[in-house]
Amino acid sequence: MTETKLLKDAYSLILEAIDVGVYKPGDRLVESELADRFGVSRTPIREALQRLETQSLLTRDGRSLIVASLDHNQLAELYIVRSELEGLAARLAARHATDEEVRLLRIMIEEDARLMGDPQALSRANRRFHKQIHLASHNRYLVQQLDLVHRSMALLASTSISVAGRGERTLEEHSAIVEAIASGDGDAAYNALKEHISRAFETRLRQDSIAAERFSL
């Protein structure tokens, strides 16, 4: 396996581990432990950690690297950018999505309905659904920017879908987005997706408020 492939694999493995919550904000990442976990040498692990630090997904705590966390302002800024870019992706998807891509989005919603009661699985399905909308925009530069945004979303320690009732509402909102895309109504698709992100942000803020209140008790 080439050095470049090893680095890519090490980077992807660490990023996925952060994304699925194996490593949470504040957790310390140790080269030797990561090398043992993923079965690769320490050199590609070290280079992957440097790359993640450059992307602000890791931060320094003395000599240690820890998973970064987002404060309230950073969270708000991230959701603003995400809302606008995702809305644009939906608008472009309404213009450019193929019949096959629209059918796939509908199938995803049907399949995701079976995941109710499993917030983590539904969260992963949610990311796949949004990624498919990005691809349906048929704009490679927008997809690249959204990849960066969603990489930062990995720093969120929990999923808003875990809140009671949020999973069902998420699928309802997804359906509205897909139907707007299917009808070719770019404005409706843009607005539906922005409203969806707004609802998710509102739910997350409520989660954080409740968690902060419990911590202060």
The CATH number of the structural domain formed by 3-67 is 1.10.10.10
CATH class of 72-216: mainly alpha
Q: What is the pLDDT of residues 91-113, one digit of tens each?
A: 999 999 999 999 999 999 999 99
Lowest mean pLDDT among 128-137, 150-159, 162-171: 150-159
Q: Tell if the pTM clears 0.85, that is, is over it.
A: no
User: pLDDT class for 4, splitting at 50, 70, 90?
Assistant: low
User: pLDDT class for 1, splitting at 50, 70, 90?
Assistant: very low
User: pLDDT class for 184, splitting at 50, 70, 90?
Assistant: very high
How much is the pLDDT for 2? Answer: 52
Q: Greater confidence, 160 or 115?
A: 115
Q: Do 3-67 and 72-216 fold alike per CATH?
A: no
Residue 217 has pLDDT above 60, yes or no: no
Domain boundaries, the chain: 3-67, 72-216
DSSP per position, the chain: --HHHHHHHHHHHHHHHHHTTSS-TT-EE-HHHHHHHHT--HHHHHHHHHHHHHTTSEEEETTEEEE----HHHHHHHHHHHHHHHHHHHHHHHHH--HHHHHHHHHHHHHHGGGTT-HHHHHHHHHHHHHHHHHHTT-HHHHHHHHHHHHHHTT-SS-GGGSTTHHHHHHHHHHHHHHHHHTT-HHHHHHHHHHHHHHHHHHHHHHHHHHHHHHH-
Q: Greater confidence, 213 or 182?
A: 182
